[in-house]
A and B are shown apart, each in its own frame.
Chain A
Amino acid sequence: MARVVVNVMPKPEILDPQGKAVTGALKRMGHEGFSVRQGKRFEIEVEGDLTPARLEEVRQYAEAVLANTVIENFEVVSQ
């Protein structure tokens, strides 16, 4: 069974309050010099062969559903 991963990240220019909170926590723990941005990872199991058409189908719904392209970038990675 093929697997496709969709990674979704807030756009660089969009404030990421969750990443900021994690960055602040790391600093308080003594981990200096790290800046964290937090995104989402979707792991998609595909029944049957992962044809170019199926991969394109994933790309289309990643853009329409999994990511909100107003505020997020996404990438589709087949594994």
Chain B
Amino acid sequence: MLSLYLAIPLAPLVGSIVSGLFRRAVGRAGAHWVTIVGVALATVLSGVVFWHTVVLGAAPFNASVYTWALSGGLRFEVGFLVDSLSASMILVVSFVSLMVHIYTIGYMREDPGYQRFFSYISLFTFAMLMLVMSNNFLQLFFGWEAVGLASYLLIGFWYERETAIAANLKAFLVNRAGDFGFLLGIAAVLAHFGSLDYGEVFAAAPGLKDVTVQVLPGVEWSLMTLVGILLFVGAMGKSAQVPLHVWLPDSMEGPTPISALIHAATMVTAGIFMVARMSPIYELSDTALSFVLVIGAVTAFFMGLVGLVQNDIKRVVAYSTLSQLGYMTVALGASAYAAGVFHLVTHAFFKALLFLAAGSVIIAMHHEQDIRRMGGIRRHMPVTYWTSLVGSLALIGFPGFSGFFSKDAILEAVHHSQRPGAGFAYLALVAGVYVTALYTFRMFFLVFHGRPRMDPHTLEHLHEGPAVITVPLIGLAIPSMLAGAVLVGPMLFGDYFRDAIRVLPANDVLAEWGGHYSGVLGFVAHGLSAPPVWLAMAGVVTAWYLYLARPDLPERLHGALRPLHSLLEKGYGFDAFYRRVLAGGARALGGVLWRLGDQRVIDGWLVNGSARTAGLLSGLVRRIQTGYLYQYAFAMIAGLVALLGWFVRG
């Protein structure tokens, strides 16, 4: 089995290396073939592993492959832990990646950096697979940084655009800020557990749950709280949770395929995956989970609101991603890890679909991204239209579509949770359902319905993309529709995850609720009787009324709600704050240190000062060297007399 597991990440890596280093030799077609074959192989093998591990229920595989370093008694290794959690992740990652690879053939057709792009996205796939298959913290961090690198390279793919390079720097730095916490967390784990292996750390965690650490004078935290929160800071960077969310909207500067793959379906869910993987640690700290819960709720609601005022089609979807990541985070905070991962999976399908559909529209519109200049595209692009509709319905949680099941599971879990902050989170999420439906269908109606608002030339040339564009759309639309219904029973209430996710009985909200579970239809019926579904419907109706029935209303509303609108447009001022206070502050401080510390104090006073002093002294000494013989003679005699006197006295 080991060689099979190894082949899964290595196949995309080989593709990446070949298309990257030998781009001239393989040419454009060679580059996409070699990477697509690599990723397709990974997908097929992931399917085999999924079947074996999840469906047939084989025992988890846990073994190391390579010893990276050995120091003292410590081993740093590369190894795989394949259980239901990682088996599900690799299947989702490689499948979405495959769809995106195929789509890229169409989307990047005219780009001069064609081979480079394929090389990067395959590299990303490799890194992401290594991350989710890891059985230890070291490799987790490896993957964590490597996906960040791929993201950096791809956001800045069009490196001659100033906005793109500003965005990729920002993404890297914000993620680094998260890594600050992540590294501290890993260091704390190593210091207290003496190991970086998941198995050993998780086994030892219950024994250390009473260890406390004084984080500030007078503030005692349990070790698990500290570790949990530090690791979660890393997740906040990678999964773009408030206040480390600012990089994700800007990351839309990258080509659309990577927005789908990296900034919607896979990389940004690494934080969610990580917390689920660490459930044995998080379960031991209510405080850490409350923190997770509240951060997630804030992100889910407030970022959704910002999505309402965006006019760039990709930025709408990006804010939606932020909000949905918030939903997943809330699930984790409520100890409903399974629900979080469930939403992660369904979201990966429908959000990748929405991004790729947006990309399809963008190409047809000749790289126009402003939804105010679209409209009526439905007739010209039927495949894109229908798949977008599927994606949108899944996103808002329309009964029967995949997002319905996963979102409802999260809402129910939070509703049942007794954890501090759960009440607030429930309200935020329920209100978020309305907001989600509103911004989703605002975009949908503005793009596909109504009267065309583009220039006649563009309108004339509107047409559906080639098969390499439409096939991935359909490929993603199918699971966006069905994944929820298929997975809801086993994932939430069955023994899907077995030991991969551990929940203390007292925290197990899903089990509590699962007693009432009576099949998919019962779930749907239950959903129809609860407010969220009707809120979503209300959102759709509102969007229809505002943007199709009475298109004059938004303008007037905008005027009436100007302060709120501008607050949302500025994204609550996070960007301005970071730019002015943190980035500006660091630069100013560096400048002051340089001019004052290095140039004035050290060089000015100490170094050049001592040089000046030496100069002065030698000037004095030079005065003595007059060159007049009589003065020297006099000095010698005086010295002699003094010496003699000293001897005589002694």
Partners in one complex: no
Chain B contacts to A: CB under 8 angstroms: none
Chain A contacts to B: CB under 8 angstroms: none
